[in-house]
Amino acid sequence: MRSLWIKNPLAIMADAAGGVVLRKGCIAELLKAGQRPSNPVDEEFDAGRHVVLPGLVNTHHHFYQTLTRSHPQAINKKLFDWLRALYPVWARITPESLRLATRLALTELLMSGVSTSSDHHYLFPAGLDDAMDIQVEEAQRLGMRLTVTRGAMNLSEKDGGLPPDSVVQDEDLILEDCERIIRHFHQRGDGAMIQVALAPCSPFSVTKSLMTKCAGLAEQHDCRLHTHLAETHDEDQYCRSMFGMSPLDYLEETGWLGSRTWLAHGIHFSDGDIQRLGRHGVGVCHCPTSNMVLASGQCRTRELEAAGVPVGLGVDGSASNDSSNLMEGVRHALMINRLTYDVSVTHMDVLRWATVGSARCLGRSDIGEIDVGKQADLAFFSLEDLRFSGAGDPIAALVLCGAHRADRVMIGGEWRVLDGLPIGVDVYALRAAHGAAARAFL
């Protein structure tokens, strides 16, 4: 791998006005203005027209939902009604349609500046046993980092749960496949491209036994845990009626209240809940766009961070967003948090959540920052669109003026997007194939 000097950026999210030097896929030096690399480099790249950010990190998604964006049966509904409308539709997903959904979601994320994503796949209708394998293959094809979460549902309508029988699995089968996925794909240490998390869907779709056993497997195999929690008031009421306790008490009783866990949404936590989360190091993925679309509520990001909770960002599923663009999510996070709090929530706060905060949620210290020793995962944005004309602060402009597409993206020192297009992907052919597959779900 050749060394590279990314020189003299228009702006950079680091103290490195002179740029950064990359060696062996990592950041080797940060240069002050006018400074040159301490050792010769093989190549130079003039970043004078680029604002350089750490590669964005998306910590919650449902790739399969790209097939049901703005679905006529689900628009203008709250979470539970939305789920009841879409579960029977999603039950028709096949390996072929999941592959296209995953490819499109990852491509869209990559084009928005994302270098690392997670996906919460919990839907396993008949014939979709290899869903995790498909997702890993697609991430590897694009050269993206992925935390693939082996989700699950085993509590169906007949058991008092929300999902229909056709999309749930038996507990033993779920646990067996969790171990298989960890054994085959989970990489440890800096620079990992594929990691595995265990992710029972939510309190209203899995049994307490499955939650507890997944926590044990995660401890045994040193991987992370992920689930939806405290997204709506309906969920809180469900936990109290079904289990006789609050969502957070349920989390603690099942062995999930620890630093291996990050939660999606985390909206309806009390002050005491937030302090408990902070004491135990549980992360929260803020999903601003989805929360607004489904009118679920407003995540208490300021209180969470003050309590020591890692806060990251996620686009959430493309049927409740309805896109896979994390830069758009960054702007939405700024707007909803200013309404929740005030103008002291800054563009740097939301960019922090989308980078180092998200990395912390995934348990990673090697990504999410532009610093010596970190992975060379970088997103390059130009300010040449009309929307940026007149912008003074280049980094603030990305958020306030609404950047949504990276000009270049680098992962592990390798270019993955050039001139706004992902290398090796025919986006027009992908759009046509995915659109054709999606029509089967109308």
Q: What is the pLDDT of residue 238?
A: 84
* CATH H-level, domain 4-54+372-422: superfamily: Urease, subunit C, domain 1 (2.30.40.10)
Model pLDDT, residue 28:
98
What is the spatial distance between Cα 265 and Cα 401, in angstroms, rounded to a whole number? Answer: 26
- Please answer whether residues 181 and 195 qualify as being in contact, where contact means their C-beta atoms are separated by less than 8 angstroms: no
Q: What per-residue confidence (pLDDT) applies to 234?
A: 84
**Candidate CATH numbers 3.40.630.10, 3.40.50.300, 2.60.40.1080, 3.20.20.140; the one for domain 56-361:** 3.20.20.140
The rounded distance, in Å, linking the Cα atoms of 310 and 281 is: 7
Nearest C-alpha neighbor of 148 from the set 176, 124, 114, 120: 120
Can you give the residue ranges of every domain in the chain? 4-54+372-422, 56-361
How many other CB atoms are found less than 10 A from the CB of residue 184? 12
Q: How much is the pTM?
A: 0.98
Mapping DSSP to helix (H, G, I), strand (E, B) and coil, where does residue 88 land? helix
Tokens of 122: 């919990």
Paired with 12 in beta bridges are: 52
> Rounded to whole angstroms, how far apart are CA atoms 417 and 409?
5
Report which DSSP code applies to 160.
Answer: T
Question: What residue ranges of the chain have pLDDT lower than 50?
Answer: none
Candidates 203, 221, 219; CA nearest to 211 is 203
Residues for the chain: how many in total? 442
CA–CA gap between residue 128 and residue 139 (Å, rounded):
18
pLDDT of the residue at 283: 98
What pLDDT sits at residue 309? 98
Please spell the DSSP secondary structure of 248-267, one letter per residue: HHHHHHTT--STTEEEEE--
Q: What is the pLDDT, as a whole number, of residue 392?
A: 97
For residues 126-141, one letter each, b for 16 or more C-beta atoms within 10 angstroms of the residue's C-beta and e for the rest, the string is: eebeebbebbbebbee
Please name which of 98, 118, 112 lies closest in space to residue 326, comparing C-alpha atoms.
112
What pLDDT shows up at residue 116? Answer: 98
